[in-house]
């Protein structure tokens, strides 16, 4: 992922975009993945504008992806209108087959850039995106494992494979703690204190995860196996909890492969379930069986906005069924 970030700054982008990405990285604490996504979205917008507004007559026959944007200045953005932006949104749907979710993400990227340019950098006086609306999005229910499927997955990870104890510990933490993939990879042994774990979450924010009995058991069963190879572990990764077969801190792609492997071993759909879906599973099980209120669940998951957490209030059909049955007229 570091190479991805280097590629961003090695490419010839407009000066104002590089300034914006520096702001996202150093001030907002955005991850490399977020900045890479913003780069793709905003570069596409600028390439479209050059084509749409006839700013690249020498490049008019080039595919959009090959149009250069390093020569664009803030003067180009000063002429931007709401109609230009809606033309871009129309292009996304007609020429790139983007659905509403993809369009909404790109619109969010554009709004964020112009908010920075007008309110932080203060190099633009007018924000043309203020009245730019996003397409309506239908509510999507999270994909998650049932309780029985979760138990099957944990059983499947308990095999004779040489990494099975590590893999079981990884899956146990996903299912019990609801942490993100990046958070799991970043766990340090020194950050585990009694039944708490301090991690750096989304937006470079520190948060505390509380470890239940199953989580602690999985960690302490794995530690002797991990420490048996302590002399081989890379010096810079000595504090990392989860170690790869190459004796370095485990990375996200390796964890994704581990989850996919054991999902398959459990007889479940490998294409349907990912580490993020295990996070959904943990949240759903806590809400359904643990009687956890929505505010507590928000804290556990590290959601900045409670609307993100509210998707879990729509997954429990049993609660809805029981609510209807509790109507005093139900037996009449």
Are 176 and 153 a contacting pair, CB within 8 Å? no
147-318: which CATH topology? hpI Integrase; Chain A (1.10.443)
Are 259 and 278 a contacting pair, CB within 8 Å? yes
Q: Across the strands, what pairs with 243?
A: 249
φ, ψ of residue 41 in degrees (nearest 5): -65, -45
Claim: this prediction has a pTM higher than 0.75: no
CA distance 88 to 94: 10
Are 146 and 188 a contacting pair, CB within 8 Å? no
Kind and range of the H or E run holding 135: none
CA distance 135 to 262: 38
Could you count the other beta carbons within 10 Å of the beta carbon of residue 159? 15
Domain spans of the chain, in order of start: 2-120, 147-318
CA distance 203 to 226: 29
Could you count the other beta carbons within 10 Å of the beta carbon of residue 243? 23
Residues tagged active-site: 180, 202, 276, 279, 303, 312
Look-up: residue for tokens 């209030």? 313
CA distance 102 to 113: 17
Q: What tens-digit pLDDT sequence spans the chain (332 residues)?
A: 444 445 455 567 999 999 999 999 888 888 788 899 999 999 999 999 998 988 877 777 788 888 899 989 999 899 999 999 999 999 999 999 999 989 999 999 999 999 999 999 999 999 999 999 988 876 666 788 999 999 999 999 987 778 999 999 999 999 999 899 999 999 999 999 999 999 887 767 788 899 999 999 999 999 999 999 999 999 999 999 999 999 999 999 999 999 999 999 999 988 888 999 999 899 888 888 877 878 888 888 888 777 777 777 666 556 656 666 666 666 65
Look-up: residue for tokens 């009694």? 194
Q: Quick one: the chain helix, strand, coil %, rounded to 5? A: 60, 5, 35
């Amino acid at each position: 992922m570091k190479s991805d970030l280097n590629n961003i700054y090695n490419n010839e982008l407009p000066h104002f975009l590089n300034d914006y990405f520096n702001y996202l990285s150093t001030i907002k604490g955005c991850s490399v993945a977020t900045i890479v996504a913003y780069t793709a979205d905003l570069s596409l917008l600028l390439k479209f504008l050059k084509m749409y507004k006839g700013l690249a007559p020498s490049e008019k026959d080039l595919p959009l992806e090959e149009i250069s944007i390093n020569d664009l200045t803030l003067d180009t953005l000063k002429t931007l209108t709401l109609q230009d932006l809606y033309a871009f949104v129309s292009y996304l749907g007609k020429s790139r087959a983007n659905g509403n979710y993809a369009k909404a993400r790109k619109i969010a990227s554009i709004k964020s850039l112009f908010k920075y340019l007008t309110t932080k950098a203060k190099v633009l006086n007018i924000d043309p995106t203020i009245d730019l609306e996003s397409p309506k999005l239908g509510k999507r229910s999270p994909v998650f494992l049932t309780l029985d499927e979760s138990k099957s997955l944990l059983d499947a990870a308990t095999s004779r494979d040489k990494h099975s104890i590590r893999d079981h510990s990884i899956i146990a933490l996903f299912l019990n703690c609801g942490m993100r993939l990046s958070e799991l990879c970043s766990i340090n042994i020194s950050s585990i204190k009694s039944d708490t774990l301090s991690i750096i979450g989304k937006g470079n924010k520190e948060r505390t995860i509380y470890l239940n009995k199953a989580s602690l058991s999985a960690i302490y069963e794995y530690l002797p196996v991990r420490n048996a190879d302590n002399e081989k572990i890379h010096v810079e990764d000595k504090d990392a909890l989860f170690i790869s077969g190459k004796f370095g801190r485990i990375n996200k792609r390796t964890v994704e492969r581990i989850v996919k492997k054991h999902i398959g071993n459990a007889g479940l759909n490998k294409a349907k379930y990912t580490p993020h879906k295990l996070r959904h599973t943990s949240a759903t099980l806590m809400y359904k069986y643990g009687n956890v209120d929505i505010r507590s669940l928000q804290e556990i998951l590290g959601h900045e906005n409670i609307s993100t957490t509210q998707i879990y209030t729509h997954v429990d059909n049993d609660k809805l069924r029981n609510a209807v049955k509790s109507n005093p007229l139900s037996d009449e």
